[in-house]
Amino acid sequence: MKVKDLRQIKLTMDPWFLTGFVDGEGCFSVIVIRSNKLKTGWVVHPKFSISLHQKDKALLEQIQSYFCGAGSIIKQGPLSIQFQIQSVKDLKVIIDHFERYPLITQKRADYELFKQVFEIISNKKHLTTEGLEKLVAIKASMNKGLSVRSELKAAFPKILPVPRPSIVNQQIKDPQWVAGFTSGEGCFYINIMNSASHSLGFQVQLIFKLTQHERDEELMRSLVDYLDCCGNVYIYKEAVDYIVIKFTDLTEKILPFFEKYPLFGVKSKDFEDFKQVVKLMQNKAHLTEEGLNQIRQIKAGMNKGRPLSDGNTRGG
């Protein structure tokens, strides 16, 4: 399918959902490798990618469809697949989207640097020594920077990384962003714990969690108010977690929110299973042997336990 203007096709995925998902799972990178075919001695490949478990192939296909069929979906590992776009022409569609629906995590800094690289390549300046050196300086500030032992680091020892853009005042502009971000970074978890205070000897605890790097602490704390003052934020090493455990917050805030703004991909299946357990607990079934066994069975088929064949784009 040829790339078309976004306005010419009917989109089934909300654009803010897609931005939220990329804030969680997307990657903007620049590949620079040696080449004897170019005067500079180096060839440059800008790349936008999303890597997921193969269970979410249908979701990547839907994202590719959103971007008018641009790019390709490739097998990345035994259980991993990747949607990637490297063509400069096709990357213009990506940039058009994120200019209209901006990223809000610190990943936006990588995007802003990526956009600078895109301009250098679009203007053919990467084919000059000066342009290539500027591009390498930008790459040095993206993601994890240049590896100390990398060939690129050795070839450009005097290159200093450009200042990394500062991303502040992170504000969630649309609820669909939360649905997209949760489809990437969220987790609906069922914890069954030993408990001497329960007649069956077990207690069922339901947990909703979003995880991000600690540099996005401000954004994660904003979720407490955005989702109507439920949940708490915890920092552990380099990660920050937004966690909701209180049963009434889950039933009155979290579940209604994602019923109104649905998740996509395998995560939507976890959400549907999570709702089943909520209903069982509301009916006190978790206090019976039969109900507890049913919850155990549901839990066993969620998250990493979900069969490969159970990967639909959206939950029902």
Give the residue, 277 or 198, on which the prediction is more confident.
277
What superfamily in CATH does domain 6-155 come from? Homing endonucleases (3.10.28.10)
pLDDT greater than 60 at residue 313: no
Distance (Å, whole) CA 241 – CA 7: 37
Output the six-digit token pair for 270.
């976890």
pLDDT tens by residue, 108-146: 999 999 999 999 999 999 999 999 999 999 999 999 888
Query: What average pLDDT does the chain have?
Result: 90
Report the relative pairing of strands 80-85 and 202-213 from DSSP bridges.
Answer: unpaired
pLDDT tens by residue, 49-89: 999 999 999 999 999 999 999 999 999 888 899 999 999 99
Domains 6-155 and 175-305 share a fold: yes
Output the six-digit token pair for 181.
């971000």
Q: What is the CATH number of domain 175-305?
A: 3.10.28.10
Distance (Å, whole) CA 147 – CA 139: 11
pLDDT greater than 50 at residue 308: yes
Distance (Å, whole) CA 141 – CA 160: 9
Q: What pTM was computed for the model?
A: 0.90
Distance (Å, whole) CA 217 – CA 235: 8
Distance (Å, whole) CA 56 – CA 269: 11
pLDDT band at 306 (very low <50, low <70, confident <90, very high): confident
Contact 81, 74 (CB under 8 A): yes
Per the DSSP assignment, residues forming a β-bridge with 239 are 213, 236
At 310 the pLDDT is: 67
The region, left, alpha or beta by phi > 0 then psi within -120 to 50, assigned to residue 315 is: beta
Percent of the chain with pLDDT over 70: 94
Contact 179, 261 (CB under 8 A): yes
Annotated domain spans of the chain: 6-155, 175-305
Output the six-digit token pair for 193.
């714990």
pLDDT tens by residue, 269-305: 999 999 999 999 999 999 999 999 999 999 999 988 8
